[in-house]
Structure 1
Amino acid sequence: MSNTLASRLNLTRRSFLKMSAGTMAIAGGLVHRDGKAFAYEPYLRDDDLTTVVTSCAHNCGSRHMLVAHKKGDVIVRLSSDTGEYQGDPWNTDTEEVPQLRACLRGRSYRLRLYSPERLLFPMMRVGERGEGKFKRVSWEEALSFVAEKMEYIKEKYGPTALLDQSYAGASWGVLHKSDQITGLLGRFLGMFGCRTSSWSVPSYQGTTFSSKMTFGTIKDGNEDDAFAHSKLIIMWGWNPAYTFHGGNTFYYMRLAKQRGCKFVLIDPQHTDSASTYDAWWIPIRPNTDAAMLAAMAHHIFVNNLQDQEFIDKFCQGMDAGTMPDWAKDRENFKDYILGTDDGQPKSPEWAESICGVKAADIKKLAEMYATTKPAALKASWAPGRNAYGEQYNRMAAAVQAMTGNIGVLGGSSEGVGKAWSPKSTAYPQDKYKNIWKQSIKSDRWAHCVLNYPNVKREEIGLWPRSDKTDGQIPNIKGIFWQGSDWFNQLTNINKEIEAIKKLELVVCMDSTITPSGIWADILLPIATHFERHDAGLPWYKGHYYIHRPKVIEPLGESKTDFQVFTELAYRLGFGENYNPKATRDYFYNNEQVDEVYLREWWENQVMAKQHVDLSWEEFKKRGVYKFKFKHPHVAFQDNVEKGKKWYTPSGKIEIFSTKLARYTDWTKTAYGYEIPAIPKWIEPWEWLGSEKTQDYPFHLVSPHPRWRTHTIYNNIGILRETYEQEVTINASDAKRLGIKTGDTVEVWNGRGKVVVPAYVTERCMPGVAVIHEGAWMDLDENGVDRSGNPDFLTDDNPSPAGAFAYNTVLVNIKKTELAHRPGWDKLATARSQVFRRESSF
C-alpha cells in the first residue's frame, strides 16, 4: 500500500473514497459524472505543495538545479533555480553568480520517474538473450543468482572474466556513483578480485590523449565566465545550443555577443548555435579538421603572424629554436607545416582539396584568429571522435599556442576543458580505489570476446602493467552495466550482439528498462536521484554543489547502487570492507549511513579543503552552494603570468611530445600503433577522399541531440514530439536521389542498416549525412534497426590514441519500403514539425 496513489498523496481511505465516488478514471485522467474533464483532480496549487531543491543527475554537460514540488509522496511539478535558494532575497542572477536553470530535459524528469518503463522489481530473463522476456523475482533470488554466478565465473575463468562498464549516465553523485575510475562498481569488482576495466571515454578519448601529451593534464579549460571576455570565438565542431559544456555557457556567450564578439562555426552543418550567434559558417568535410588547422598554421607562419615571444618562452618543438637538445635532429612542427622535410607545404591551397574549404577562407580565418586578441578557439570533442582524432586536437593546441591565446582571459586552450575541480567522492578512497586485473578500450570488448584467445594486445587497447600479467588477454565471460547504456552506445552494435551471446552473465542496473537491459540476464531496479540522499556536482563547468535529499520514497522495490553492491559484497565475503560505515541491514535501511558519509564529505573535504564556511545543516536547508571567484578561472594563467611549469616532462607546452618521441616498442603501449611526436594530418580509413565512396558516397556524422542525453530521455513523449530521429541530407543530394523531407529511407554500409525519415535542407553540406546518436535500437527479423541508431553503422576499429571513430563512417542512402518504428515521432503535432513539412525541399 505504501506506493499507492492515495498513500503518496497523503489521502485517508475515507477522503479517497469520497473523491472517487464523484469520479471515474479513464485514459489516465479523471472525469466527473456530469461530463467535466480535468487533467488532474484535485488541482494542486503551489501553496498546497512542499518544495524541495535537488538537481539533474545525468551525463548531459551541466547538471542544473531542479526544484521538486510534491504532495505527500508524489512529485507533481518540477521547476528550476530562481536565485532564492542562496539565502539572497534579491534572487540573484548575475555574471558573478548566475542561476542554474534546468533545460527541458531535466524539467521533463517526472515523465521518466513515473514512466511505464520504470523498473520496479528485480527481473530475470526467461527467453533468449535479447528477446526481452523476463519474470519478476525477489531480491533474494536475484542477488543469490548474481553472487553464485560471479563466484563460478571467477573460479572457472580467472580474475579478468567480469567486465566493468559503469559510466556516468544514470547514477552520478558523490555517494551513489557510477564511474570508471572512482565508481561503486569498480570498487566492488576490484575487491572481489575479478575485474577487467574499460579505460577509455567515448566522448573525448582522443582529446584526453592530446591534452595529456601537450599540457600534461586534462585540466586545460577555462570556466565559462571567461567566454564573456572574448573578442572572437571559433566554435570548432561545437554546438552549445545542443551540447552543454557547462551550466551557463550560453549566458556568457550572449554577454560576449552583446560586447561585440565575433563568432565562427567550423562544422559540416549550419547549427542552431550558428544562427543564434550570427556566426560565419565554414562547412568542412568530416575528419579533415587537422588539415585545415595545419593550413591555418602555414598561413600564420609564412606571414609571420605567430606570437614568437610566447613560443620561445613556453613551447617545445614549435620550431627549430624550441626543440630540446636531445632531439635537434627530429622534425619540428614548423618544418612539417612548411614542408621542409616531405616537400609538401601544408598551405591553404593544399588543404582546400582535402577539406573542401576555400583557401581564401582559410587565410581569412587564420588572420582573424592570429590578430584578434583575445580569441577563443574552442576545439570541441566531436571532430576528435574520428580515426586519428587525437591529431585534430593536437593540431588545435598548436594553433592556440602559436597565437599566444593560452593562459589569457578570453582566450582558450581547450581540448578536454576540465576547469574547476569539485570534491567528488564521499565514500572511502583507499587501496581499493581502482583495482583491475586488466584494462581494455571499452568498445573493443566484443572483439576480445569473439576472438579470445587469438587477440593481440594492440587490437583491444590493453593497458600496460608492471607485473607478470602484462600482456595477458582477458577472458571475458560476464558484464556489468551500471549507470550506462553502452550496449546501445558503443560502436558497431551488430558485433556486440554477436559477442554478447557468448557471455554467461549480463547484469544491468538502472531505473528504467533500456536497450542494454533488454539483452541482460538480470535487471536490478535502481532508485533515481529523487529517491536517495546525495549531493550533485557540476558536470564539466560551473562551480557549485547542490544538495540532493531523498524527495520521495523509492518506487516499487528500487534500491540504491550502494545498497545493492553492499549486500552483494556481504554475500561474497567482504561487505565490512566495502562499506565500512554500514552493517548488513544497510540493504533495508541506508538513510543514517548515507547521512554520515555525506556530512563527512562536506565537513572534511568541502569545508576544510575548499574554505567553505556554510555548515552541512545550512547547506541542506538552502539546497545549493555557489562559489564566488575573485576573477574568472583561466587555465594555465599561472603558467603564463607566474612561470609555473606545465605538467609535461619538459615543463612546457609540448608541441613536440617527449613521451611520444621516446617510445621504442609501441605494441607495449595501450595505443598499440605509432603516433607521431608532432601533430600531423593523417588520412582516415573512411572519408570523402576515399575510394570507398564508390559504394558509400556519404560521410555520416552522429552528433548529440538536444532532446536526449545519449539514450536517456529517448522514451519521453513530449521531447520526441518536438524533435524527430531522422537523417539530414543536403537538398542537392536529395534531388539526385529523388528524396523529399518525410520520405522513409534506409542508410547502410557493410556493418549494418538503419531506417529513418529524411530531412532535406541546405544547412548540411553536400556529401554529408547526419543522424543524431542515442536512439533506442529496435531490430526487425533481419537485424535492420528501425529506430535509426547510427551505431549499427559505426566501426569499432581502434584509432591509435584511443579515439572512438564514431564519425569515421561512410554510408549509402536510398528510399525504402522497409518499416520505420517512429513511436511518438510521427504523432508529433508541434508547430516546428508542421513548419518543417511545409517548408521542405
Structure 2
Amino acid sequence: MDAKTILGSALNVSRRDVLQGAAGAAATAGLFRAVEPREAKAFAYSPYPTDDELVTVPTSCAHNCGSRHMLVAHKKGDVIVRLSTDDGRYQGPQGGFGYDTEEMPQLRACLRGRSYRSRLYSAERLLYPMIRVGERGEGKFKRASWDAALDYVAGKMLDLKQKHGPHALLDQSYAGASYGVLHKSDQIEGLLGRFLGMFGCRTSSWSVPSYQATTFSSRMTFGTIEDGNEDDTFAHSKLIIMWGWNPAYTFHGGNTFYYMRLAKQRGCRFVLVDPQYSDSASAYDAWWIPIRPATDAAMMAGMAFHIFTNNLQDQDFINRFTQGMDAGTMPQWAQGGESFKDYILGTRDGQPKTPEWASAICGVPASDIVKLADLYARTKPAALKASWAPGRNSNGEQYNRMAAALQAMTGNIGKLGGCAEGVGKAWHAEGVAYPYDEFANVWYASIKSDRWAHLVLNYPNLKREEIGLWPRSDNLDGVIPNVRGIFWQGSNWFNQLPNINKQIEAMKKLDLVVCNDSTITPSGLYADVLFPVATHFERHDVALPWYKGHYYIHRPKVIQPLGESKTDFQIYTELAHRLGFGERYNPRASREYFHHDDAVDEAYLAAWWEKVQHHQGADISWEEFKARGTYKFKLPRPHVAFQDQIEKGIPFQTPSGKIEILSTQLAQVTDWTRTAWGHPIPAIPKWTEPFESLNHAEKRAEHPFHLITPHPRWRTHSIFNNIPWLRETYEQEVTINAADAKGLGIRTGDTVEVYNARGRMVLPAYVTERVMPGVVVVHEGAWLDLDGDGVDRAGNPDVLTLDEPSPAGGFAYNTILVNLRKTDLNHRPGWDQLATSRAHVFRRST
C-alpha cells in the first residue's frame, strides 16, 4: 500500500461516524455541569512577573566583541528576570518606540548580550575570595575573607619586589569583561597597569592578540591606528571585499550588518576572500574566493601586478599622497632603492609577482586574481576591508601592508565608500574617567604577551629578541625581566594565548598568580588567589563603543553585587592602601571606598561627562544622560579616515607626511635586535613565507591540514562559553571539507582527534563543502579541559598553536599544520550535547 492510500484510509471517516460521535459527546455532556470559560494563566516559568511589576533599567553589554550595544534590564527587587534591547525609546527627544533611522539606528544587542542573565547567575559565578590549597591547576581552593586574601597578596607583592626587582610582576590585563570609562581592564590605560606602575614593579605586555600585525602595519603606513571609517560609510560603497572578514559573527563597530545591508539594497557587490564560506557570504550573495591560509599577501601582490601592468592605478593619487609606491615617489634619501612597483614587477629580484606566480602559492586561479583586481581597480568607491584574521599569521603584517598598498594605488583612501582599514579605529571616544597621570603606563620592562611562558621557562638564558623586549632609554634597557608573579584582570589567557601546554609548564615556576574575574575560568583554576569581581550590572560606569560607533551608554548599578563581589577599582584601591599609595591611586576616595563606592564612582563619572561636553560637544547634562540611558553624537558628515588629508592637504602622521608604502622607520633601522620586533622586516610590503603552511611539503607530509581558528558567533573569545542557551544552539566542532572527510572515513558527528607536536584535542566533526580542501576550522575560545594525558577534551585550538612570534609581533593563531583521525578518546562537551537542542541534526551530513 502506497503512502497516498494509507493517508486516504486514515482520513476516510464517514458521516455516520461523525454523527455518532457527536451524539455520544452530547449525551456525556449532560452528565456534567457546564463550566464557565476562564482565562489561561499558566506559564512555563512560574511565577513570572508582568511588565507592570518590573523596574526597567537601560544599560549595555561590556565585552570585547566588536561593539557594545544596549541591554535593557527588567528587574523585580534586586533580581534581573529578563533582558531586552534598544527599541527606539532611548534616542532622546526625537526617539520613540520603533524609532530607527540610518542616521540614528537602534543599538540592538546580539544573542550573546541577550543571554547575559545566564552568565550573571551561572553556576560558575565567583562570589567570594578564594585561596588555593591544592596543587596549581588542581582547582582546589578554600574560601577566605577579604582581609586575609588582600593581606596575602600585598605581602607576596612586597616580597617579590624586594627579592627580584621592578620586573617581578607581569601585568596581563586585557579588555575582557571589564571595560568602561571607570572600571577598565586594558593594557595601556587600565586600572591594573596604573596600580602596578605606582607600586614600582611591573612588566607589561605590549602586543594585542587580536590585531598586533595590523597595528604595526597601520602605524608604519599611516602613522596611526585610527585608520577606520564609521560603519555608516559602508552604505555608500559600490564594492565591498570582505578579506577574512565575517561581519555576521564579528562586528567591527555598531550596526555593521545594518549598513552593509543598506549597501546591498543600493546595488553594492560583495566578495569574500576566505578559506571558508561564511554566513556573511551567504547573506550578501558574495563571490567566494577560497584561499590557502597565510598566503593572502601573495594574492594581493598578484592583484597589484595586474593593476600596474594594465595602468589601472590612480597615478594622481599615488603622486600626491604616497611614498615609495614607485620610482617617482621615492624620497631623496632612498633614491635608487627598491620601490613597491619594482618589487611587484620583479625589477630587482627577477621574479614578477604575476597572477600565475601568486596562484601557485595561494591556490586561487590566476583568472580569479585578475578578475578581482580588475573589479577593484575599476569600481569607485570600493572598500577593501582587510580584516584582522589573515594578519593573525606568521608574517601577517605583510598581508596588512600589502592591503594598504592596494587601497592607496586604487585611490580608495579618504573617500566616502572607500576604505583604509587596517585596524579600523574610527571616532575617538573620551575613554578614561579616573586621573590619567604620570603613572598611567609606567613599566620597567615590556615583553610580547605570548612570549611570557618562553621567558619564564628559559630565564635568564635568552636574548631580548626572543621575548620582544621593548627598548628603553635607561639603565634597565636590555635587562631580561625575572617574572615571578602574574596578575590577570579581564583576561582568560589559557584560552587566548598560544601553546597552552607551554604556559602550564611556566605556571609551575611562578610564586604568585592573582586572578580578578566574575567567573571561575580555566585560567583561574591555576591561580593562587581568586578575587570575585562585580559584573557591569553590579557597578556604576559608562559604556564606550568598541573601536567604532559614536555614542555612549550609561551603565547604572542595576543590582547590588552578588556574594562578596567588589569592583576592580575597589580591589586595587584597597591593595594600594595596604601598600602605602592608596590616596595617590584613588584621590577621590577614602579608605571606606572598599565598602561604599557609589558616591565616589558618581563623582568620577560626572567629572568625565564634563570632559565629554567640553571636548566633544555633548549637549545634555549628566543627569539627563543618566535618565535617557544613551547619547549618540550626530556627526557633521560621515566619519571617513584621512578625508582631511586627501581633501585639505593635511599631512599624514608619518615621518614623510604621506602614506608610507616605503616605511621611513623600517628603512632606517640599523640594529633589529634593539627593536621590540627583534627581527628584520622589509621596508616595503613583500610576500614572506610563513613558518608553516600547505606549501611546505615536508611538514605537510606529517600534518597535511591547515587549521584556522576564527571567532565564533556564540562566544566573545572564551566569554559566554558556559551559557547553556548558546551552547545548545552552536556546537564546538571541527569543520572538514567533504572530500577530505571521505578520505579519512569521517562523517558528521564522529569524534575526531586533532593533533600536532604541541598538543591534542578531541571534538566532533562537521563535514561540509563550506570549507576548502586541505583546511579545517575550529572556532577559538572553548574552555580548556585537559585529561590526565594532557589531551584537551573540549576543543580548544590553542593547545595546537605555536608561540613563535611573527617578526612584527603578530600572533600566529592561524598558522597551524595539524593531522586528524577518528578516535575513541573521551570528548567532554557540555550543554551543546547534553541539552535537547542539537543544531547539527538540521544540517546535511556528508
Shift, 1:674, TM fit: 0.4
Instruction: Determine the C-alpha separation between the residues in 2 that align with 1:113 and 1:355.
Output: 45
Shift, 1:40, TM fit: 3.4
Shift, 1:38, TM fit: 5.3
2:260 matched residue in structure 1: 253
- Correspondence 1:617 to 2:615: no
- Correspondence 1:352 to 2:359: yes
Of residues 27, 49, 62, the one that matches 1:44 is: 49
- Correspondence 1:409 to 2:409: no
Instruction: Determine the C-alpha separation between the residues in 1 that align with 2:701 and 2:583.
Output: 62
Shift, 1:39, TM fit: 4.0
- Correspondence 1:456 to 2:447: no
Of residues 159, 181, 184, the one that matches 2:188 is: 181
Offset from partner CA, 1:186-235 (integer Å, 9 cap, x none): 00000000000000000000000000000000000000000000000000
2:109 matched residue in structure 1: 102
- Aligned-pair identity in percent equals 76
1:796 matched residue in structure 2: 803
Q: Which secondary structure state, in structure 2, belongs to the residue aligned with residue 86 of structure 1? A: coil
1:295 matched residue in structure 2: 302
Deviates more, 1:39-48 or 1:234-243: 39-48
1:27 matched residue in structure 2: none
Q: Which secondary structure state, in structure 1, belongs to the residue aligned with residue 456 of structure 2? A: helix
Alignment of structure 1 residues 418-567 onto 2, 5 Å: 418-567=425-574
Instruction: Determine the C-alpha separation between the residues in 2 that align with 1:168 and 1:100.
Output: 21
2:576 matched residue in structure 1: 569
Q: Kindly provide the amino acid, as one letter, of the partner of residue 619 in structure 2.
A: D
Of residues 72, 76, 89, the one that matches 1:71 is: 76
Offset from partner CA, 1:68-109 (integer Å, 9 cap, x none): 000000000100001101233444211100100000100000
Q: Kindly provide the amino acid, as one letter, of the partner of residue 644 in structure 1.
A: I
Instruction: Determine the C-alpha separation between the residues in 2 that align with 1:90 and 1:195.
Output: 49
Offset from partner CA, 1:320-342 (integer Å, 9 cap, x none): 00000110121100010000001
Instruction: Determine the C-alpha separation between the residues in 2 that align with 1:201 and 1:828.
Output: 36
Of residues 50, 55, 63, the one that matches 1:58 is: 63
1:279 matched residue in structure 2: 286
2:655 matched residue in structure 1: 649
Offset from partner CA, 1:415-442 (integer Å, 9 cap, x none): 0000001101000001111000000000
Q: Which secondary structure state, in structure 2, belongs to the residue aligned with residue 639 of structure 1? A: helix
2:7 matched residue in structure 1: none
1:19 matched residue in structure 2: none
Q: Which runs of 5+ in 1 are unaligned?
A: 1-35
Instruction: Determine the C-alpha separation between the residues in 2 that align with 1:798 and 1:330.
Output: 29
1:684 matched residue in structure 2: 690
Of residues 675, 680, 687, the one that matches 1:674 is: 680
Shift, 1:519, TM fit: 0.6
Q: Which secondary structure state, in structure 2, belongs to the residue aligned with residue 40 of structure 1? A: coil
Shift, 1:310, TM fit: 0.2
2:173 matched residue in structure 1: 166
2:340 matched residue in structure 1: 333
Instruction: Determine the C-alpha separation between the residues in 1 that align with 2:288 and 2:495.
Output: 32
Alignment of structure 1 residues 383-402 onto 2, 5 Å: 383-402=390-409
Shift, 1:830, TM fit: 3.4
Instruction: Determine the C-alpha separation between the residues in 2 that align with 1:468 and 1:144.
Output: 32
Q: Which secondary structure state, in structure 1, belongs to the residue aligned with residue 542 of structure 2? A: strand
Shift, 1:373, TM fit: 0.2
Instruction: Determine the C-alpha separation between the residues in 1 that align with 2:80 and 2:639.
Output: 37
Shift, 1:631, TM fit: 1.6
Q: Kindly provide the amino acid, as one letter, of the partner of residue 614 in structure 1.
A: I
- Correspondence 1:370 to 2:377: yes
Of residues 82, 89, 106, the one that matches 1:84 is: 89
Q: Kindly provide the amino acid, as one letter, of the partner of residue 63 in structure 2.
A: H
User: Structure 1 pair 164/374, CA: closer, same or farther in 2 (3 Å)?
Assistant: same
Q: Is the 8 A contact 1:722 1:828 kept in 2?
A: no
- Correspondence 1:597 to 2:604: yes
Shift, 1:824, TM fit: 1.1
Q: Which secondary structure state, in structure 1, belongs to the residue aligned with residue 603 of structure 2? A: helix
TM-score, normalised to structure 1, is 0.95
1:729 matched residue in structure 2: 736
Alignment of structure 1 residues 83-162 onto 2, 5 Å: 83-87=88-92, 88-91=94-97, 92-162=99-169
Q: Which secondary structure state, in structure 2, belongs to the residue aligned with residue 163 of structure 1? A: strand
- Correspondence 1:381 to 2:399: no
Offset from partner CA, 1:379-425 (integer Å, 9 cap, x none): 00000000000000000000000000000000000000000011010
Instruction: Determine the C-alpha separation between the residues in 2 that align with 1:315 and 1:814.
Output: 50
Instruction: Determine the C-alpha separation between the residues in 1 that align with 2:133 and 2:742.
Output: 49
Q: Kindly provide the amino acid, as one letter, of the partner of residue 69 in structure 2.
A: H
Instruction: Determine the C-alpha separation between the residues in 1 that align with 2:773 and 2:467.
Output: 35
Alignment of structure 1 residues 29-40 onto 2, 5 Å: 39-40=44-45
Shift, 1:709, TM fit: 0.2
Q: Which secondary structure state, in structure 1, belongs to the residue aligned with residue 173 of structure 2? A: coil
Instruction: Determine the C-alpha separation between the residues in 2 that align with 1:37 and 1:258.
Output: 44
- Correspondence 1:658 to 2:678: no
Instruction: Determine the C-alpha separation between the residues in 1 that align with 2:586 and 2:641.
Output: 37
Instruction: Determine the C-alpha separation between the residues in 1 that align with 2:280 and 2:735.
Output: 17
Of residues 636, 640, 643, the one that matches 1:637 is: 643
Q: Kindly provide the amino acid, as one letter, of the partner of residue 353 in structure 1.
A: A
Of residues 741, 744, 748, the one that matches 1:741 is: 748
Instruction: Determine the C-alpha separation between the residues in 2 that align with 1:265 and 1:446.
Output: 36
2:26 matched residue in structure 1: none
Instruction: Determine the C-alpha separation between the residues in 2 that align with 1:828 and 1:409.
Output: 48
Q: Kindly provide the amino acid, as one letter, of the partner of residue 62 in structure 2.
A: A
Offset from partner CA, 1:241-264 (integer Å, 9 cap, x none): 011101200000000000000000
Instruction: Determine the C-alpha separation between the residues in 2 that align with 1:288 and 1:149.
Output: 47
Alignment of structure 1 residues 285-324 onto 2, 5 Å: 285-324=292-331
Offset from partner CA, 1:13-38 (integer Å, 9 cap, x none): xxxxxxxxxxxxxxxxxxxxxxx985
Instruction: Determine the C-alpha separation between the residues in 2 that align with 1:445 and 1:713.
Output: 26
Instruction: Determine the C-alpha separation between the residues in 1 that align with 2:372 and 2:717.
Output: 33
Instruction: Determine the C-alpha separation between the residues in 1 that align with 2:348 and 2:90.
Output: 62
Offset from partner CA, 1:466-514 (integer Å, 9 cap, x none): 1111001110000000011112210000000000000000000000101
Q: Is the 8 A contact 1:698 1:769 kept in 2?
A: yes
Computing the radius of gyration from Cα coordinates, the structure with the larger value is 2
User: Structure 1 pair 81/448, CA: closer, same or farther in 2 (3 Å)?
Assistant: same
Q: Which secondary structure state, in structure 2, belongs to the residue aligned with residue 165 of structure 1? A: strand
Shift, 1:630, TM fit: 2.2
CA-based RMSD of the aligned residues comes to: 0.9
Instruction: Determine the C-alpha separation between the residues in 2 that align with 1:120 and 1:340.
Output: 65
2:613 matched residue in structure 1: 607
Q: Kindly provide the amino acid, as one letter, of the partner of residue 737 in structure 1.
A: L
2:17 matched residue in structure 1: none
- Correspondence 1:767 to 2:774: yes
Instruction: Determine the C-alpha separation between the residues in 2 that align with 1:98 and 1:225.
Output: 10
Q: Is the 8 A contact 2:540 2:601 kept in 1?
A: yes
Deviates more, 1:730-739 or 1:624-633: 624-633
1:754 matched residue in structure 2: 761
Instruction: Determine the C-alpha separation between the residues in 1 that align with 2:688 and 2:841.
Output: 44
Shift, 1:793, TM fit: 0.2
